[in-house]
Structure 1
Amino acid sequence: MDISFEGLEELRNGLLKEATMTKKKAVVRKHTGRLKKSAIKHAVFTGGRTGKYSKGATRRSIEAEYQPTQGKVKATTHYSGYLEEGTRFMSAQPFMKPAMEEIIPEFLTDLAKSEL
C-alpha cells in the first residue's frame, strides 16, 4: 500500500505565513505600547501658558490605537502639533519625533526577527 499526499508544500507555506503574521502583529502591538510610553515620557514642556494648558493635558491626551498590523500613537490636544513643530511665537518642543527615534531601531530588529 502506497500513500501519497499532495499539497504539503502549500500547506507548510501557508502555516509559516500565518505564524509569521501572528509574530508581526505581536511586534506591532508591543512597540506601539512602547511608543506611547516614550511619547508620554518626552512630553515635558517649558515656558508657555499658565492655566489649564500647563497642567499636562497633552501628556494625558496621548493614546494608542491598535489594528491587526498597524499601531497608531497620537496626542489629541488641539495644540499638540504646535508643541511638536513650534510656531513663529514659540520654539518647537518635540515629543513624538524623539519617541519615534528611540523606538524604531528595536522595532525594526524585532520585525526582522519575526520573519524567521
Structure 2
Amino acid sequence: MAKKIKIVGLDDLELKIKNNLDMKAVKYAVKLNGSKMNKKAKRNAEKFKGHYEYVKGKGKQFVKPTGTLKRSIELAITDKGMTAEVEPHTLYGGYVELGTRKMQAQPYLKPAFDEQKVQFRKDMDKLTR
C-alpha cells in the first residue's frame, strides 16, 4: 500500500523564490544606476575651472584643478546591495559642490543624481510590472 506525501508550504516557497529573483533584479538596478551616476559625477568634475586663492606676498592667484577631487569620487554598494552611495573622499568636495562666500559653486554630484534618478525610476517601474 502506497503512502501519500503532502508538502505543506509549497505556495509560500514559490512566493519566496519569486521575491528573491525580484530582489536580485533590484540589487542589479541599484548597482547599475549607482555605477552610471559615479561616471556622470566624475565627468562633471572634469569640467572644473579652478579657483582663485590668496597667496601670501603674491596676492590673489589662479589655481588650476589637479583632478584629485575627480579621482576621489567612488561608488560604495551598502545595505546588502540595496543602496548605492556616490561620494568624494576629499575634505573639500562639499565646498566645490555648494560653493563658499569666496568661491562660486561648481556642482558635480547633484546634476549627476538628478540625471540618473530618472533612469532609476524607469528601471524600478519595469520591475514592478
Q: What TM-score does the superposition give when structure 2 sets the normalisation length?
A: 0.80
Any unmatched runs of 5+ in structure 1? Answer: none
Looking at structure 2, the residues matched to 16 and 40 of structure 1 have their Cα atoms a distance apart, in angstroms, of 36
Does 1:57 pair with 2:68? yes
Deviation at 1:111, TM superposition (A): 1.7
Which consecutive unaligned segments of at least 5 residues does structure 2 have?
Answer: 53-62
Name 1:33's counterpart in structure 2: 35
Which residue is 1:88 aligned to?
A: 101
Q: What is residue 123 of structure 2 aligned with on the other side? A: 110
* Number of matched pairs: 114
Please give the root-mean-square deviation of Cα atoms over the aligned residues, in Å: 1.7
Structure ranking higher in strand proportion = 2
Question: Structure 2 CA distance, aligned partners of 1:60 and 1:12?
Answer: 45
| Aligned residue number for residue 91 of structure 2 | 78
User: Cα deviation per residue 1:24-75 (whole Å; 9 max; x = unaligned)?
Assistant: 0100110110010000011121140526xx2111111111111221111111
Secondary structure of residue in 1 paired with 2:51 = coil
For 2:13 and 2:31, the matched residues in 1 are separated by 27
Decide which structure has the larger Cα Rg and report it: 2
Alignment-derived partner of residue 9 in structure 1: 11
Distance, in Å, in 1 between the alignment partners of 2:72 and 2:118 is 25
Structure with greater helix share of residues: 1
C-alpha distance in 2 between matches for 1:13 and 1:32:
28
Residue 81 of structure 1, CA deviation: 0.3
- How far has the Cα of 1:4 moved from its partner? 5.0
In the alignment, what sits opposite 2:60? none
Q: How much has 1:5 moved relative to structure 2?
A: 4.0
